[in-house]
């Protein structure tokens, strides 16, 4: 009979992401459904969502429209927040070509 011994080591936290992110610094308008609007910066973008830095309050679950400079608005909801930074998950994923195009316009 074979006996195996193992030790469990604490490993660094590894973030699990649904989609690869592209680091960008594009201007963005964040508009609430009630009409309130703030201007901020998209820190990273993927087909499924983005991380934004903007003044204001963005509670988890709140719904917003995100307008990236030179593009249409994308609807989504806040999935995390940390001070003046928050993450939006898009209602409808972006096509990868759209993400690439936005990234090329905003190096």
99 phi and psi, to 5 degrees?
-60, -45
Q: 49 and 76 in contact (C-beta within 8 Å)?
A: yes
Mean pLDDT of 16-35: 80
pLDDT cut 90: percent of the chain above it: 54
pLDDT reported for residue 14? 35
For the chain, domain boundaries: 22-105
Name residues whose C-beta falls within 8 Å of residue 23's C-beta, 6 or more positions apart in sequence. Answer: 43, 44
pLDDT reported for residue 18? 62
Assigned fold of 22-105? Thrombin, subunit H (2.40.10)
**In the structure, what pLDDT confidence band is assigned to residue 19 with cuts at 50, 70 and 90?**
low
pLDDT reported for residue 97? 92
């Amino acid at each position: 009979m074979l006996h195996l011994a193992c030790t469990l080591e604490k490993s660094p936290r590894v973030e699990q992401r649904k989609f690869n992110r592209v680091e960008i610094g594009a201007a963005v308008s964040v508009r609430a459904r009630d009409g309130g609007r703030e201007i901020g910066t998209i820190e990273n973008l993927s087909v499924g969502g983005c991380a934004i830095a903007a003044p204001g309050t963005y509670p988890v679950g709140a719904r917003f429209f995100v307008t990236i400079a030179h593009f249409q608005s994308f609807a989504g909801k806040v999935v995390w927040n940390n001070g003046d930074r928050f993450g939006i998950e898009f209602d409808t994923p972006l096509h990868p070509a759209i993400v690439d195009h936005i990234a090329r316009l905003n190096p």
